[in-house]
Amino acid sequence: GTCMWQRRAEREGRCTLFAFSLTMLWAHQIAVAISGHSCAQEESALRLFERTKHSYIRWLPCANASRPTIHSFTIDKAHWRDPPIHSLCCMAPGGCFRAVFDGKVDVQRYYLAQYDRYKRKRELVEQITHILQVEVGVGAVTPSKSREMTYHRKDQQPGENWSQIHVDYYENANFVFTAVLYLGEETDDEVPLIGGETGLADDLAFGPANSDPVKQRKGRRKGHHDLPIELKSGLVVEPKQGRLLLFSGGGENYHSALPVVQGRRTTFHVFYGCACESTTSGE
């Protein structure tokens, strides 16, 4: 049978989550995954599985100040940018967000097309922009950068599992919104993909052997990655062909690509800036 869970809320850290599974077994697994999960508070890490179809939007309060606690897990990354992201004219009425959509981007058409690579990329950007504006409701935006990326397995020290954590808008003023489309070129590879998730962190912690973040941060800056970093709360998105991850680029969405344990991960990234020039009134 086909099962559906639906949890709805409207604003300020609340979310909408639709999860469709093809079998009762998968249904049971996703139910276990979200059992005890607080939609409003995001008290634990939520994982969106590859084998399950999702339409997920969570509205978040935009970060209105630097977040030194979570920023301490980054290495030499920018910690703030003015004007604050919530004041920009292209923000959605609901504010900041993270969203995942399955089945809305025609990836197969992208690969079957016989025309040139530039035109194929342009069509992908057009599809993603349409979803960002229609499904999320952002204002006038313009793509500021797009690129295809392939992540391969590499040997990782335990503490490098969140080594890429950063905030897009703090790094670049034209990265107000981010889109990650999982292309799934690796679907037919002899070596299947394991790992390669995208993690969005609300709270992180060092491993239990040493809970002193100052010592661990100093160790990381010296290249000593002797303890893993644990996601206490947030979202982990598993790669799935055609899956689209969208999120606002401010400090409410510290994120990182997680290590590829086996195989490779192929993605298409688009970064958006506002097409308008003014901030919202009162800012």
**Is the per-residue pLDDT at 21 higher than 70?**
no
Nearest to 279 by CA among 173, 128, 179, 178: 173
Burial label, 218 (beta-carbon count in 10 A; 0-12, 13-18, 19+): exposed
User: What are 183's two structure tokens?
Assistant: 């292309």
Give residue 107's identity as a one-letter amino acid code.
Answer: V
Around Cβ 126, how many Cβ atoms within 10 Å? 10
Strand-strand pairing, 141-152 and 53-60: unpaired
pLDDT of residue 113: 63
Distances (CA, A) of 275 to 10, 90, 92, 272: 26, 7, 13, 9
Q: Is the dihedral of CA 276, 277, 281, 283 positive or negative?
A: positive
The 10 Å Cβ neighbour count of residue 236 is: 16
Q: 63: closest CA among 282, 275, 249?
A: 249
Which of residues 74 and 115 earns the better pLDDT score? 74
How far apart, in whole angstroms, are the C-alpha atoms of residue 62 and residue 165? 18
The Cα 218–Cα 207 span in angstroms is 15
pLDDT(6) > 90: no
Output the CA angle 97-268-174, nearest 5 degrees.
Answer: 55
Q: How far is CA 153 from the centre of its chain?
A: 20
pLDDT reported for residue 208: 65
Structure-derived torsion over alpha carbons of residues 218, 222, 227, 231, reported in degrees to the nearest 10: 70
Model pLDDT, residue 279: 66
64-103: burial string, b at 16+ Cβ within 10 Å, e else:
eeebeebbbbbeeeeeebeebbbbbebbbebbbbbbbbbe
d(CA 184, CA 108): 10
How do residues 29-75 score in pLDDT, each as one tens digit? 333 333 333 333 345 899 999 999 989 999 999 999 999 989 988 88
- Cα(156)–Cα(225) distance, integer angstroms: 9
pLDDT class for 119, splitting at 50, 70, 90?
Answer: confident
Report angle CA 66, 72, 78 to the nearest 5 degrees.
Answer: 55
Are the CB atoms for 98 and 200 separated by under 8 Å? yes
SS3 206: strand
For residue 14, is pLDDT > 70? Answer: no
Sorting pLDDT into bands at 50, 70 and 90, what band is 154?
A: confident
